[in-house]
Structures are given as C-alpha cells and as structure tokens.
Amino acid sequence: MEENKKVYNTDIKTKKENWTKFSKLIENQFIHGGAKYCMEGQLDKEITDWVCEFSPGTTGADWILQTIAKYLGRYKNFGRE
C-alpha cells in the first residue's frame, strides 16, 4: 500500500469556485446513471432494484450493503473511489 497518500481538502472559496463543475458531475450521475441502469418497460425500476429482488439475502438489500462495503474498503485503501 502507498505510504504517502495525498489528501485533498477544500475551503469554502474553492468549493464556491467549483460548485458549478461539481453540480454538473452530480447531475450527470443521475441522468446517465438512470439511462445506464434502467429496465426496459419498467420506468419505476432500475437494474439495482432487480438485483436486490433476485438476491435479497436476509435484509432485502444485502447486495447493496455489500457493494457499499466494497467501495468503503477501496476508499480506505486508496483514499479515493
């Protein structure tokens, strides 16, 4: 594992200067993600919903929880998504 990880902190000025860029990235995630994961003929459902129904585990959302845990581990190890 890399010893000298760079941490990116931002102040209010930096956030303000980059807000538009950030909000466009988030907007793209919603719009593109919706198209990328939609289910044909089921406008109220995405692939993730189907996966949770297909493999509900004990909570009905085990797959989502496991995916979140995977990304948290990646963030812990690399300091980024």
Domain residue spans of the chain? 9-39, 47-81
pLDDT digits (tens, 9 = 90+) for 37-77: 788 888 888 887 887 788 788 888 888 888 888 888 878 88
* Residue 78: partners with Cβ closer than 8 Å, 6 or more residues away: 2, 5
Highest averaged pLDDT of the listed ranges 8-12, 23-27, 57-61: 23-27
What SS3 class is residue 39? strand
Q: What is the pTM of this model?
A: 0.43
At 21 the pLDDT is: 93
Q: Average pLDDT in the 9-28 region?
A: 89
The C-alpha atoms of residue 62 and residue 67 are separated, in whole angstroms, by 9
At 19 the pLDDT is: 93
Token duo for residue 65: 């929880």
